[in-house]
Amino acid sequence: MLDREQYSSKPSRSRRAARRVRATLGRVLGVVCLVAIVLSGAVPADAAPADAAESGAFGWPLRPRPAVERRFDKPERNWLPGHRGVDLAGVAGQSVLAAGEGIVVFAGKVAGKPVVSVDHPGGLRTTYEPVEAKVEVGSRVSRGTPIGTLLAGHEGCPAAACLHWGARRETGAHNRREYVDPLGLLHEVPVRLKPLET
């Protein structure tokens, strides 16, 4: 005799449960494989192919995609010690590019260091140092526009030439300055794995 379940148009509870288990195992296996590939070094966690097309409003200020020598370390208060940007490894004489569309608001020296600053829509300002400016104040730039050349000798960086790339946002009615991680403009934030929902 044949079971009634074989002729039912609806899958039985046990079949539905088996499908859910297979789907969950498939997701877990995919995550485990991805983590194994990253940990094995086959794909560095903070790297992408140099020729990969970028999307979004902002891009890397150096080409090819640089190594991050020193990460952002936001101070608890604006006047306290910290690292208000990231240091990117480069080569002296390398072209420095505007990370996004905006207007050059500063091109000169600050405390003896050559700096270029660009204001972007939404109250965001990016800064680049040590950079010998190739643009003038008031110049309109797009993402990827050359704004200057990288100079050697950025203090505290292990590479011979490093670009210090910073970003800050004007916030609130009192125009308070808030330093932000410029890598966040590129969506270069660490991946956070969340538990699977069953």
Q: What CATH number is given to the structural domain containing 173? A: 2.70.70.10
Please tell me the predicted confidence (pLDDT) of residue 14: 74
* Helix ranges, the chain (H): 13-40
Dihedral pair phi/psi, residue 172, rounded to 5°: 75, 175
| Strand pairing report for 102-110 and 113-120 | antiparallel
pLDDT score of 37 more than 50: no
Pair (166, 76) in one structural domain: yes
Span 63-86, pLDDT tens digits: 999 998 877 666 666 555 555 688
Please tell me the predicted confidence (pLDDT) of residue 198: 54
47 lies in some domain = no
Please tell me the predicted confidence (pLDDT) of residue 124: 94
Pair (91, 144) in one structural domain: yes
Domain range for 93 is 68-186
Q: How many helices (H) and strands (E) would you count in the chain?
A: 1, 11
The two three-digit tokens of residue 82, written as one number: 């910290």
Residues across the chain: 198
pLDDT score of 3 more than 90: no
Put simply, whether the predicted model's pTM sits higher than 0.75 gets the answer no
Please tell me the predicted confidence (pLDDT) of residue 53: 46
pLDDT score of 127 more than 80: yes
